[in-house]
Amino acid sequence: MAETHKSKALAVDLGGSHATCAVVAGASVIASETLHINGAMKLFDVLPRIANELRRLTHLTEVGFSECVGIAFGFPGIVNTQNGRVLSTNQKFVDATELDLPGWARESFNLKLRIENDARLALLGEQFAGAAKNFTDIVMITLGTGIGGAAMIEGRLVRGKHFQAGCLGGHLPVQLNGRKCNCGNIGCVEAEASTWALPQICREQKGFNESSLAQVSIIDFATLSEHAAEGDAVANAVWQHCLNVWAAGAVAMIHAYDPEVLVIGGGVMKNAARVLPFIQTHIKAHAWTMWGDVAVRAAHLGNHAALIGALPLLRENVAGEKV
C-alpha cells in the first residue's frame, strides 16, 4: 500500500503547557490524551513521555505503527517543514531547534515525521474535515493567548522563503503609534487584542481604577465579556477596541491572501456570538472583494483541528523536502 494511501497517522499537538498525543484515522481522532507539561522544560526531556503515550494509544486502539503514514507534529513557532527542524521557539521548548525530530520518529517508531506550525496544521485540519471543507483558498485566524494566522492559496499552504508567511497574521500592524508587541513591532493585532496583552490594555484604559475590572485578579476575555455585559464602561470600551482590532486584522488577511473563506478559531470564540457577527459585518462593509463576499465561519474542530491536520500534512507533496 502506498504510504500516501494509508488512512491512519499519529499526531502530536504541542502547546505552551500541553502535548496532545493522538491516533487519527481519516478525519477522526480515534484516541487522544493531553499531557500537561511546562513549556519551560526541554522538549528533549518530554519526548520519552510523548513516545510512551503514543505507544499506549496505538496499543489501546490496536493500530500498528506500520499502518500509519507517519507522525505529524504541530509546533507553536516557526518550523522548516522541508527538513523537520524547528527554527524559532518564541520562549517555549528552547532546545527544540537543536533536536532531530525526524530521527527520533524513525528510531522510536520507524515512521516518517513532519512538523508544521500549529496554526497552519489547524488550517489543514479545518480544510480536511471542518469549516473550510471544499475550499482551496483559505485564511485562518486564531484569537487567544496570542493571535495565530495561516493562509492557503490554490490548495497550497503559504509558507514563504523562511517559513514565516501566513503564520504572522497576528503581527500585521493595525495601529500607528500603537502598543509595542513581543515581536518587536508596533501596533500588531496581537499587541492590541490578545489574552497576554489584555490586562495591560485594561489598566491603561481611562477610568480603570473606577471599573469593576480593577477588582479582578486575572483579566481574560471571558471576564472582560462578563463585565462588559454588566455595563462596565471600561470593559465595554476595551471589548469594542478588541473587536475593531480583530476586524481590521481580518481585512488585512483577506486583502493579503484573497481567500474564499475566513475561519476564526481560538479561545475567544467561546464567545462566538459576540465576535463572529461583528467581524462578518465589518468585512462585508470594508473588505475590497470585487468578486463577491468572503465566507466568514467559526472553526469547527476546536482543539482537534491540528490533530486532524495530521493526515493531509503527511500526504502533502512538500516541495524541496530533505528528510
DSSP state of 288: -
Instruction: Tell me the CB-side half-sphere exposure of residue 127, using CA atoms within 13 A.
Output: 29
Binding residue for a copy of itself, selected from 102, 187, 266, 312, defined by CB under 8 A: 187
The Cβ of residue 98 has, within 10 Å, a number of other Cβ atoms equal to 11
Binding residue for a copy of itself, selected from 23, 257, 280, 312, defined by CB under 8 A: 257
The helix/strand/coil state of 70 is: strand
Amino acid at site 43: L
Which residues within the stretch 64-93 sit at the binding site for a copy of itself (CB under 8 A)? 78, 87-88
198 binds a copy of itself (CB under 8 A): no
Binding residue for a copy of itself, selected from 32, 83, 185, 236, defined by CB under 8 A: 185
Binding residue for a copy of itself, selected from 2, 218, 273, 319, defined by CB under 8 A: 319
Q: How far apart (Å, rounded) are the C-alpha atoms in residues 82 and 63?
A: 27
Cβ 166 to a copy of itself, closest distance in Å? Answer: 8
Q: Residue 38, class by beta-carbon neighbours within 10 Å (0-12 exposed, 13-18 middle, 19+ buried)?
A: exposed
Q: Given the C-alpha cell 491603561, which residue does it identify?
A: 204
Instruction: Write out the three cell numbers for 214.
Output: 480593577
DSSP state of 181: P
2 binds a copy of itself (CB under 8 A): no
DSSP state of 207: T
Nearer to a copy of itself, 215 or 288 (CB): 288
288 binds a copy of itself (CB under 8 A): yes
Q: How many residues does the chain have?
A: 323
Nearer to a copy of itself, 25 or 183 (CB): 183
262 binds a copy of itself (CB under 8 A): no
Q: How far apart (Å, rounded) are the C-alpha atoms in residues 246 and 174?
A: 9
Binding residue for a copy of itself, selected from 62, 134, 217, 291, defined by CB under 8 A: 291
290 binds a copy of itself (CB under 8 A): yes
Q: Which neighbouring-strand residues pair with 132?
A: none
Nearer to a copy of itself, 82 or 271 (CB): 82
Cβ 222 to a copy of itself, closest distance in Å? Answer: 24
The piece of 9-17, 101-109, 164-172, 307-315 that touches a copy of itself (CB under 8 A) is 164-172
Q: Residue 82, class by beta-carbon neighbours within 10 Å (0-12 exposed, 13-18 middle, 19+ buried)?
A: middle
DSSP state of 258: -
Nearer to a copy of itself, 29 or 283 (CB): 283
The CA distances from residue 65 to 9, 70, 105, 316, in Å, are 8, 8, 11, 19
Q: Among 72, 85, 71, 75, which residue's Cα sits nearest to residue 16?
A: 75
Cβ 8 to a copy of itself, closest distance in Å? Answer: 31
Amino acid at site 82: Q
Nearer to a copy of itself, 182 or 212 (CB): 182
Binding residue for a copy of itself, selected from 82, 136, 205, 212, defined by CB under 8 A: 136
Binding residue for a copy of itself, selected from 28, 32, 34, 175, defined by CB under 8 A: 175
H or E element: which one contains 315? helix 310-315
Binding residue for a copy of itself, selected from 11, 21, 86, 158, defined by CB under 8 A: 158
30 binds a copy of itself (CB under 8 A): no
259 binds a copy of itself (CB under 8 A): yes
Nearer to a copy of itself, 34 or 289 (CB): 289
Name the residues that contact a copy of itself, by CB under 8 A. 78, 87-88, 136-137, 153-154, 158-166, 168, 171-178, 183-187, 192, 241, 244-245, 248, 251-252, 255-260, 285-291, 319
